[in-house]
Structure 1
Amino acid sequence: MPGSRRKAVVEDGLVILGLVTVQLVGAAYMVFLGPVLSLGIKPLFLVTFGSFVTATLVFPFAVAFEREKWPSRLSPMLMARFLLLALGGVTTFQALLLLGVKKTSPSIASAMPNLAPGIIFIIAACLRFEKVDMMYWYSRAKILGTLLCLGGAVAMSLLQSPSVPPPESPQRLHPFGENLLENTYKDWFIGCLCLFGAVLVISCTMVLQAATMMQFEAPLTLCSITSLLGAFLTAAVQFVVEGRINIGNPVIKLESIVAIAILGGMTTAACIAFQTWAVKRKGPVFVSMFSPVQTVCSGILSAIVLHQMIKVESLMAMFFMFSGLYMVLWAKGKEDFLLTEVASTAISTQLDADIEKPLLS
């Protein structure tokens, strides 16, 4: 195996291992969020404080490793992209995600983002960030794998229904006069809408992120800037909506809340920084295809920690999601290899043609 090919294989292996680790950490964080939000902490406060911690932790690494890559001046278009990334990827996405987790369950919250690969694939293909040519088998394999992931994600979301205690009689009412079962399904439906909105937002954000890093090749700096802007934007949204920066009515001490927010910020910092770098190296579609790992791990952890039942149908849906993931990864690997071979052949042909040309014409 040539040295360049071996180096590419090692890099691909490290990227895949890192992305799997990110999804494992994300699954644990998702399961952890459910009990935390039930303590009475405002989701917007968690987003604000956590994003500020993320920006603070990532910034020293950005200065150490990327300072030479910073442009001498920021164009208005680049600053506008920073603002859109912060508004979408930090404020809107995390607020909708936390609200969705609060109203549904960690399993559904982890399954819904599996819609992102299909959405991102469509957006990236339309913007020509992703190569799609139905004449080639690897393009057909990527489309089929994406459809399998989409189908598995939708099936798992529909199969996971909210669980409520069985009513003693059909007329049993909620203390406030609402039917308990109807109220539970209403919250579940609203939560699913919030999660779907979060997926749409993060899909557009990842494509915009890939486009931004073509001009600003500093992923750690981009992560720090967008996290800091997102913290200020989220605080502004909460101030406008509620009139103040409201921590909520938690049943735990302030020190515990700060520790939870710092832990969330550290986790988010590591995951976002690595994913931002992976998007730069492999593109948004490749990174988004690892969402099924978080779904499976979240389902297992929910069953162990929160005692939530995993249905056989859900396991089948997970199987389809992983099949689609493997198919896309396999097609992407073959595509990159073939494109590299074609480029090498073209360069060799051009060199041979140049050698055969007479020195004097």
Structure 2
Amino acid sequence: MFMGLIRQTKLVLAVILVQLGYAGLSIISVFALKKGMSPYTFIVYRMAIATIVLAPFAFILERNSRPPMTWSITGKIMLLSLFDPVLDQNLYYMGMKNSSATFTSAMCNMLPAFAFCLAWIFRFEKVSLKKLHSIAKVMGTIITVGGAIVLTLVRGPSLCLPWAIEEQIDPHQSAQCYSGQADLVKGALFITGACFCWSWFVILQAITLRSYPCQLSLTAMICFWGMVEGAILAFVVERGHSGVWSIQFNIKLVAAFYGAMQSGVAYYVMGMVVKEKGPVFYSAFNPLATVMVAILGSFVLAEQLYLGSVIGAAVIIIGLYLVLWGKAKDQSPPSQSCMIDEVAPLTQRLIDDQQC
């Protein structure tokens, strides 16, 4: 009992540290993107560095426990790396370029709602509108999407934080407001696509870990294939712009190394937590990154907060925890023929039910 409590505490602390790392990465990424770094090459460098660092540890530490590699497992890993980092992170940074770090982080709280919708569509999730917890999951999903709409379209008055002095807009710049609003909507669409890809990644990772349970080796291979697939995409998109591949000892290099370390740690911790607690447990900590980014963004980037953004973020968090409450109540009862852990991922529970 005591050892189990210590184990759970370690998992919670690990996820909190990952969210703190993501908050810092968001701030550093904004600086690098403003300095002209291409998000496509940024991701390639991140995955290359992460692969170089993680591969030797994975090879040595898991050399006796790795199951044989099959075409099926290889295909799953390549699909995982396509969802994240290639599609998810490129859409994420494109959304950030059209909005702000705080806005991007808040919009990413839609992830649990997207994961729930995908699980429902593909019958991984059972929903009965006669049960309160099922209604809570559906309503939480709707509220989360509504909060994202409020966050995108409603600005409201500035909170006038003393350390985030907003620059005054000259009269001749007023025509740019419409363009700024259009960029915000465009950014919201990019971030929504990123959340969709990330939710696919979380579900597919839970499935892959059943046939390939070595988290460190899986993390290294995701980073490797992410580098390969990301490089192909970067060469196609940035063809004729060879200068985007140049990197010097500046904020771009710092961002690449920081991002590489964050990706490696995050993939490993996510695999460990998803394997033991499920993807819903991991996603429950997403709002922490939003709060951290909002605080860091206002201090470091002088990003002013607006009432509409705060209300939208609060609505997203309320919807998120309605979904989580419904998930906590939606557990299959254990039996002698088929014991299902109370916090197992939805995808794993479905497979277990079919096997029993």
Q: TM-score range by the shorter chain?
A: 0.7 to 0.9
Counterpart residue number, 2:191: 195
Structure 2 CA distance for aligned equivalents of residues 47 and 141 of structure 1: 37
Q: Is the 8 A contact 1:238 1:244 kept in 2?
A: no
Structure 1 CA distance for aligned equivalents of residues 131 and 220 of structure 2: 39
User: Within 5 Å, which residues of 2 pair with 1:41-56?
Assistant: 41-56=37-52
- Report the CA distance shift for 1:154/1:295 in structure 2 as closer, same or farther (over 3 A): farther
Counterpart residue number, 1:88: 83
Question: Which whole-Å deviations, capped at 9, do the CAs of 1:85-126 have from their partners, x for residues lacking one?
Answer: 111211111111112111211011111211111110122234
Q: 2:171 aligns with which of 168, 185, 205?
A: 168
Deviation at 1:297, TM superposition (A): 1.6
- Given residue 298 of structure 1, which amino acid in structure 2 is its aligned partner? V
Structure 2 CA distance for aligned equivalents of residues 238 and 73 of structure 1: 28
5+ residue gaps, structure 1 = 174-178, 348-361
TM-score (norm 2): 0.80
User: Within 5 Å, which residues of 2 pair with 1:224-235?
Assistant: 224-235=220-231
- Report the CA distance shift for 1:196/1:57 in structure 2 as closer, same or farther (over 3 A): same
Deviation at 1:255, TM superposition (A): 5.5
Q: Is the 8 A contact 1:111 1:157 kept in 2?
A: no
User: Within 5 Å, which residues of 2 pair with 1:84-163?
Assistant: 84-130=79-125, 132-133=127-128, 137-160=132-155
Q: Is the 8 A contact 1:278 1:287 kept in 2?
A: yes
Q: Is the 8 A contact 1:48 1:234 kept in 2?
A: yes
Q: 1:239 aligns with which of 235, 243, 250?
A: 235
Q: 2:312 aligns with which of 314, 317, 325?
A: 317
- Report the CA distance shift for 1:125/1:145 in structure 2 as closer, same or farther (over 3 A): same
Counterpart residue number, 1:358: none
Counterpart residue number, 2:15: 19
Deviation at 1:37, TM superposition (A): 0.5
Q: 1:186 aligns with which of 179, 182, 186?
A: 182
- Counterpart of 2:169 in 1: which secondary structure? coil
Q: Is the 8 A contact 1:91 1:234 kept in 2?
A: yes
Question: Which whole-Å deviations, capped at 9, do the CAs of 1:190-219 have from their partners, x for residues lacking one?
Answer: 222221111111111221111111211122
Counterpart residue number, 2:211: 215
Counterpart residue number, 1:294: 289
5+ residue gaps, structure 2 = 159-165, 340-356
How many pairs are equivalent?
331
User: Within 5 Å, which residues of 2 pair with 1:243-254?
Assistant: 243=239, 246-248=242-244, 253-254=248-249
- Report the CA distance shift for 1:107/1:182 in structure 2 as closer, same or farther (over 3 A): same
Q: 1:29 aligns with which of 22, 25, 32?
A: 25
- Given residue 285 of structure 2, which amino acid in structure 1 is its aligned partner? F
- Report the CA distance shift for 1:241/1:148 in structure 2 as closer, same or farther (over 3 A): closer
- Given residue 12 of structure 2, which amino acid in structure 1 is its aligned partner? I
Q: Is the 8 A contact 2:89 2:194 kept in 1?
A: yes
Q: Return 211-220 or 154-163, whichever deviates more.
A: 154-163
- Report the CA distance shift for 1:65/1:126 in structure 2 as closer, same or farther (over 3 A): farther
Question: Which whole-Å deviations, capped at 9, do the CAs of 1:125-157 have from their partners, x for residues lacking one?
Answer: 344544545565544444444444444344323
Q: Return 153-162 or 45-54, whichever deviates more.
A: 153-162
Deviation at 1:344, TM superposition (A): 7.1
- Report the CA distance shift for 1:182/1:155 in structure 2 as closer, same or farther (over 3 A): closer
TM-score (norm 1): 0.79
% same residue: 27
Structure 1 CA distance for aligned equivalents of residues 148 and 97 of structure 2: 20
Structure 2 CA distance for aligned equivalents of residues 11 and 136 of structure 1: 33
